[in-house]
Amino acid sequence: MPALTLTHLSRTFANGTAALGDLSATIADGAFVSLVGPSGCGKSTALRIIAGLDEPSAGAIEWQGARPEIGFVFQEPTLMAWASAGRNVALPLELEGVARAAAAAQARTALANVGLAGFEKSLPRELSGGMRMRVSIARALVAEPGALLMDEPFAALDEFTRAKLNDDLLALWTAQRFTTLFVTHSVFESVYLSQRIIVLSGRPGRVVADIANPAPYPRGQAYRTSPEFNAVARDVLAALTEAHG
């Protein structure tokens, strides 16, 4: 069942820059899909349009049924520096009008789900970069969204932290099955995480390949060096190379 259908989405900014050329895709309900492409190919723009933070210049977005609650994770943790981790995570609930105590309880659970039990009272500056990103993910998931949109969330993290967060994200997704759109410029990250990789060309971004990755979950560390992983990664790399000559 499709959760989301994108038809010929494009976006040209007021200054004439054509960021997104043509994006059409049908995203299945509960799928984990990555958008891969070089910098400036409009993948972040596409994500913002899907979230409703930006309007497409042409094309349409159609959700199956009502537009679901959306969780969004930015490249930076984007936390309120003056608020504790607990208050940061509780924000979406509090904005919806959930009572503060109930929101705090749910935030505590969401923090525990990302491995940060007991860190409710910590301020962002007291946490490491990886932990801040975990808080950001907990905030995106606290309202139990139907769709999770992630915009290069792990790009600024070191290799080990990134691999750990990859696995933790997959564990959460396997348990809750929110439809996930994951923007990255890392071919290997996209292959490791996704069921499907949509490859975009350089600006203005167009779909140049749509590659399925049938490997089952959970995908452990061994999968990162397996022949199956390499086969998919080779296809994605080939598509990217072909698009850029």
Partner 1 sequence: MKRLIHLILPILLFLALIWFWEWAVGYWQVKKFVLPAPSAIWTALAQEASDLMAGKPGTLFASAFATLQTTLTAFALAAVTGILLAALFASSRLAEAMVAPYTVILQVTPVVAIAPLVLVWVGLDNAWVAVLILAWIVAFFPVLANATAGLKAADPNLRDLFRLYRASRWQTFTRLLIPSSLPYLLTGLKTAGGLALIGAVVAEFAAASGNSGGLAWRILEAGNRLQIAKMFAALILLALMGLALYAILSLIEWLLLRRWHGAVAR
Nearer to partner 1 by Cβ, of 91 and 105: the residue is 91
Helices marked H in the chain: 43-51, 85-96, 100-113, 129-141, 159-176, 187-193, 227-244
Nearest approach, Cβ of residue 118 and partner 1 (Å): 19
Minimum Å distance from CB 245 to partner 1? 34
63/74 with CB nearer partner 1: 74
Contacts with partner 1, residue ranges (CB under 8 A): 48, 51-53, 70, 72, 74, 76-83, 91-92, 95-96, 123-125, 127, 132, 143
Burial class (CB in 10 A: 0-12, 13-18, 19+), 29: middle
- Specify the residue, 91 or 215, whose C-beta has the smaller distance to partner 1: 91
Minimum gap (Å) between residue 80 Cβ and partner 1:
7
Q: H-helix or E-strand containing 36?
A: strand 32-36
CB atoms within 10 A of CB 237: 15
Nearer to partner 1, 21 or 42 (CB): 42
State in angstroms the smallest separation of the CB of 79 from partner 1: 6
Please, which residue, 81 or 175, has the CB nearer to partner 1? Answer: 81
Q: Are 92 and 137 a contacting pair, CB within 8 Å?
A: no
- Taking residue 78's Cβ as centre, other Cβ atoms within 10 Å add up to 15
Q: How far is the CB of 37 from partner 1 (least distance, A)?
A: 21
- In angstroms, how far is the first alpha carbon of the chain from the final one? 36
